[in-house]
Amino acid sequence: MTFHSMWAELLPIGRDSASGGYRRYAWTGADADCRTWFQEQAEARGLTYEVDRNGNQWAWLGDPAAGNAVVTGSHLDSVPDGGAFDGPLGVVSSFAALDELRSRNARFTKPLAIVNFGDEEGARFGLACVGSRLTAGQLTVEQAHRLTDGDGITLPRAMEAAGYDPDTIGADPERLARIGAFVELHVEQGRALDLSGDRVGIAGAIWPHGRWRFDFRGEANHAGTTRLADRRDPMLSYAETVLAARREAELAGAVATFGKIVVEPNGVNAIPSLVRGWLDSRAADQERLDTVVGGIEKAARAYAEAHGVDLDIVRESFTPVVEFDHALRDELARILGKDTDPGLKVPVLGTGAGHDAGILSGSIPTAMLFVRNPTGVSHSPAEHAAEDDCVAGVTALADVLEGLACR
Ligand code: GLV
Ligand code: MN
Ligand code: MN
């Protein structure tokens, strides 16, 4: 199957016809359809298919127990109304790269696996990279059991409803010990490659990033009859906090986003009793991130007090800075025929986006390849990569896998 035909097969799954965006949330029907597609691709190639204890899917060429495996892959789930490329490009390119290596008659000296990590985006349960975090022991079973979606369904119940056994979830060091290198190909989520005129880049580092929940609690009351002076309106302190986030991020050269909000009782003619907003903030280094988030928290507390509103702030997740393995990164650059000197043709890029490769980098050597995104838009239906750039990405991934697994 060509890259093109695999891509076309995946394209309709979980796509909302009104928005044109993808709603492939963990353990839903759309996710199940993506998983079926993955299993079919594995079986069509005679690969050994398995699901690990955390619901991640694996397709093996060679003996998984032999050790020193080279693994590639990404994720198939999406953010709300996400694009087609974030995640799926890496999985489809992995199968296409294996096909290319087979057509080159590549002789594998190490096991090779393709993986689809579950729930990378955290769209349903609020925590990103659940599959890889569990595997790496960065999310405990107790924490995972507490994850709950917007309808009050817990992660274990959602897994169960999708036909998976939630009693097995947990750290999987034996599995990680079998892996010598993990390489994730991903659409770029910025315009660095477009600006440099390159089709493919190599990841250098991932910015530290996290998610914080701000609960502003005031008093519900009538929108028509309550004097302004008598209100305890949490929407006001929330709105001022959003503006403060923008200011703090600008001052520090970082980013801060309130992209999700819950309002109670959510009536046009009622002053809210609760405004719950989620802050996503990221910066090039820890110090800057601490400054931004500290500044936003301080401002939020002052605004809450000024409006007679109670405020609770909870850090829901955090991922420290990730410096990808230098030796593996240099090996990728060498394989791709370049070096890491200034002026190199395969640029090394930092990114503010989180990835399973970042989570796994604490346990095993990991690296990433990025494929040019002409507009840089991501987490949106407008996310795009040109097909010839995707094909160049497949060739680069095939070269890398050949260099790592066939020597
Ligand atoms: C995942 O794509 C993230 O960076 O939030
Ligand atoms: Mn994403
Ligand atoms: Mn992704």
pLDDT in tens, 120-134: 999 999 999 999 999
* CB 128 less than 6 A from any atom of ligand 1: yes
Give the whole-angstrom CA distance, residue 203 versus residue 205.
Answer: 6
| Beta-carbon count within 10 A of 253 CB | 10
| Domain covering 210-318: architecture | 2-Layer Sandwich (3.30)
* CB 206 less than 6 A from any atom of ligand 1: no
Q: Has this prediction a pTM greater than 0.85?
A: yes
How many angstroms separate the alpha carbon of residue 232 from the centre of ligand 3? 40
Task: Out of 77, 379, 383, give the residue to mutate to test ligand 1, the one with the largest number of ligand atoms within 8 Å of its CB.
Answer: 379
Residue extents of the structural domains in the chain = 3-207+321-405, 210-318
Strand 270-271 vs strand 348-351: parallel, antiparallel, or unpaired? unpaired
Closest CA to 396 of 341, 308, 307, 333: 333
pLDDT at site 338:
58
- Residues of the chain below pLDDT 50: 340, 343-344
How many residues would you count in the chain?
407
Residues 73 and 60: beta-carbon distance below 8 Å: no
Omega before 265 within 30 of 0, i.e. cis: yes
Q: What is the 3-state secondary structure (H, E, C) of the chain?
A: CCHHHHHHHHCCCCECCCCCCECCCCCCHHHHHHHHHHHHHHHHCCCEEEECCCCCEEEEECCHHHCCEEEEEEECCCCCCECCCCCHHHHHHHHHHHHHHHHCCCCCCCCEEEEEECCCCCCCCCCCCHHHHHHHCCCCHHHHHHCECCCCCEHHHHHHHCCCCHHHCCCCHHHHHCEEEEEEEEECCCCHHHHHCCCEEEEEEECCEEEEEEEEECCCEECCCCCHHHCCCHHHHHHHHHHHHHHHHHHHCCEEEEEEEEEECCCCCEECCEEEEEEEEECCCHHHHHHHHHHHHHHHHHHHHHCCCEEEEEEEEEECCEECCHHHHHHHHHHCCCCCCCCCCCCEEEECCCCHHHHHCCCCCEEEEEECCCCCCCCCCCCCCCHHHHHHHHHHHHHHHHHHHCC
Give the whole-angstrom CA distance, residue 371 versus residue 89.
Answer: 9
Burial class, 387, CB count within 10 angstroms (exposed 0-12 / middle 13-18 / buried 19+): exposed
Closest CA to 94 of 38, 175, 13: 38
How many angstroms separate the alpha carbon of residue 24 from the centre of ligand 1? 15
pLDDT at site 337:
78
Ligand nearest to the CA of residue 368, numbered in listed order: 3
Can you name the residues that pair with 215 across neighbouring β-strands? 276, 312
| Beta-carbon count within 10 A of 326 CB | 12
pLDDT in tens, 345-389: 689 999 999 999 999 999 999 999 999 999 999 999 999 999 999
Strand 209-217 vs strand 310-319: parallel, antiparallel, or unpaired? antiparallel
How many angstroms separate the alpha carbon of residue 394 from the centre of ligand 2? 20
Burial class, 291, CB count within 10 angstroms (exposed 0-12 / middle 13-18 / buried 19+): middle
pLDDT at site 139:
98
Which atom of ligand 1 is found nearest the CA of 129?
Answer: 1
* CB 354 less than 6 A from any atom of ligand 1: yes
Name the one residue in this structure whose structure tokens are 């998984």.
64
* CB 359 less than 6 A from any atom of ligand 1: no
Q: What is the assigned CATH class of domain 3-207+321-405?
A: alpha beta
pLDDT at site 343:
47
* CB 121 less than 6 A from any atom of ligand 1: yes
Give the whole-angstrom CA distance, residue 167 versus residue 237.
Answer: 42
Give the whole-angstrom CA distance, residue 148 versus residue 157.
Answer: 9
pLDDT in tens, 71-108: 999 999 999 999 999 999 999 999 999 999 999 999 99
- Per-chain mean pLDDT for the chain: 96
